[in-house]
């Protein structure tokens, strides 16, 4: 089960690529291996997923990033404290641009695990060993817990400080694995067109579901984990939570609503990276998709339930038939 480890990091989108979206590698390689992110001057609050292509571009090194500043600061919030990473232009040009971020991620991971488990685990190794054991044993309660926590991390956001002028990072890949990751970021955090989404749904129906349902018999625990990961249930902490302004988190009417579940969400804001102001999530424009969002839970840790056609579609795809029943016979 080691290949199915659950890593809790702000860039946990990579895990989705390994668990689920790598099933779409052929599709991703057919033209969707490109993503773009813009970093405004000053403070930016961006979904971690929208930075995936930026991190890839920075990690590749070289001098091809026009207007990259002397340094770029990234702040990861664990729920109790910030962890800081600084990427310098010199490091980026020498191919060591992500070195400080990798170090910050290790610290963030440890701090975050302690918080979400109430100090039950103090290391990534112990946490993942427990997750692997419970998934292998198909422990339903624990699987729901781990999937909810991971869903929360998928949609987390980070602060980015750019001391210079606005610049744009565009990354294009011909490799299937990284193309799948870029594609996942575009779907989850971008503003994909209806035609692109229709293509995705058709591809999943035709080429992916059969293999996943086959896995249900061979690895029922892992299949249960994947189903829960795409169920729309997100674990929320008490107090402020960093999420993303994503169409996946909106309700059926396209509104950012937090009424489903057992949470007491009293505040929700999206940060406008252009004006540097907070905007109420319910009225934030579509053009801000991919920006960071904060929600305040005034109650105890809880589960936020997202209900929309996107979630319903994937949940129905992953239904293994156990919830189906034939029509009733006539009277």
Residues 311-330: tens digit of each pLDDT:
887 777 776 545 567 888 99
**Confidence class of residue 207 from pLDDT cuts 50, 70 and 90?**
low
Residue 43 has a pLDDT of: 98
In a domain? residue 61: yes
Mean pLDDT of the chain: 78
Does residue 150 contact residue 58 with C-beta atoms inside 8 Å? Answer: no
Report the pLDDT averaged over residues 221-233. 83
**Confidence class of residue 178 from pLDDT cuts 50, 70 and 90?**
low
Q: 3-17, 28-42, 209-223, 225-239: which has the highest mean pLDDT?
A: 225-239
Query: Please, what's the b/e burial string for 19-57 (b: 16 or more CB within 10 A of its CB; e: otherwise)?
Result: bbbbbbbebbbeebbebbbbbbbeebbbbbbbbbbbbbb
Taken in order 122, 151, 43, 99, is the CA torsion positive or negative? positive
In a domain? residue 233: yes
In a domain? residue 2: no
**Confidence class of residue 9 from pLDDT cuts 50, 70 and 90?**
very low
Report the pLDDT averaged over residues 266-279. 96
Cα 141 to Cα 23: distance, rounded to the nearest angstrom: 27
In a domain? residue 248: yes
**Whole-Å CA distances, 99 to 1, 21, 68, 103:** 28, 26, 17, 7
Residue 139 has a pLDDT of: 92
Q: Which residue has the higher pLDDT, 180 or 228?
A: 228
**Confidence class of residue 146 from pLDDT cuts 50, 70 and 90?**
confident
Residue 173 has a pLDDT of: 63
Report the pLDDT averaged over residues 181-198. 66
- Using the predicted structure, report yes or no on whether residue 24 has a pLDDT greater than 90: no
Residue 200 has a pLDDT of: 63
Dihedral pair phi/psi, residue 259, rounded to 5°: -85, -15
User: Tokens representing 108?
Assistant: 């963030």
Residue 320 has a pLDDT of: 53
- Using the predicted structure, report yes or no on whether residue 290 has a pLDDT greater than 80: yes
Residue 63 has a pLDDT of: 61
In a domain? residue 244: yes
Residue 41 has a pLDDT of: 97
In a domain? residue 29: yes
Residue 2 has a pLDDT of: 38
- Using the predicted structure, report yes or no on whether residue 73 has a pLDDT greater than 60: yes
Residue 131 has a pLDDT of: 85
In a domain? residue 173: yes
User: What percent of the chain has pLDDT above 70?
Assistant: 73
pTM of the model: 0.81
Q: How many domains does the chain have?
A: 1
Report the pLDDT averaged over residues 78-90. 91
Cα 173 to Cα 295: distance, rounded to the nearest angstrom: 34
Report the pLDDT averaged over residues 152-161. 91
**Which of 27-31, 78-82, 126-130, 262-266 has the least mean pLDDT?**
27-31
Range of the domain at 56: 8-317
Q: In this predicted model, what pLDDT tens digit does every residue of 97-107 receive, in sequence order?
A: 888 888 888 88
- Using the predicted structure, report yes or no on whether residue 117 has a pLDDT greater than 50: yes
In a domain? residue 215: yes
């Amino acid at each position: 089960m080691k290949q199915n480890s659950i890593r809790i990091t702000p860039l946990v989108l990579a895990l989705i690529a390994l668990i689920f979206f790598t099933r779409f590698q052929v599709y991703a390689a057919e033209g969707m291996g490109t993503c773009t992110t813009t970093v405004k001057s000053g403070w930016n609050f961006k979904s971690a997923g929208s930075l995936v292509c930026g991190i890839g571009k920075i990690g590749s090194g070289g001098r091809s990033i026009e207007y990259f500043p002397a340094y770029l600061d990234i702040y990861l919030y664990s729920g109790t404290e910030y962890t800081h990473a600084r990427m310098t232009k010199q490091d980026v040009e020498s191919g060591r641009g992500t070195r400080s971020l990798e170090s910050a991620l290790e610290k963030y991971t440890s701090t975050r695990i302690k918080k979400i488990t109430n100090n039950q685990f103090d290391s990534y190794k112990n946490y993942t060993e427990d997750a692997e054991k419970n998934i292998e044993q198909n422990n339903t309660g624990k699987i729901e817990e781990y999937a909810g926590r991971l869903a929360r991390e998928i949609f987390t956001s980070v602060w980015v400080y750019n001391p210079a002028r606005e610049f744009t990072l565009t990354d294009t890949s011909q490799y299937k694995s990284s193309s799948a990751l870029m594609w996942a970021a575009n779907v989850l955090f971008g503003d994909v067109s209806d035609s692109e989404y229709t293509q995705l749904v058709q591809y999943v129906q035709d080429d992916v579901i059969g293999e996943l349902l086959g896995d249900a018999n061979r690895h029922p625990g892992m299949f249960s984990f994947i189903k829960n990961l795409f169920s729309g249930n997100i674990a929320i902490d008490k107090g402020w939570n960093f999420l993303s302004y994503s169409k996946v988190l909106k309700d059926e009417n396209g509104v950012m609503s937090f009424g489903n579940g057992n949470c007491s969400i009293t505040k929700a804001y999206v940060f406008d990276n252009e004006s540097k102001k907070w905007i109420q999530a319910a009225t934030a424009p579509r053009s801000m998709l991919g920006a960071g969002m904060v929600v305040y839970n005034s109650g105890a840790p809880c589960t936020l339930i997202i209900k929309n056609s996107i979630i319903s579609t994937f949940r129905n795809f992953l239904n293994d038939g156990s919830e189906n029943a034939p029509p009733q016979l006539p009277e």
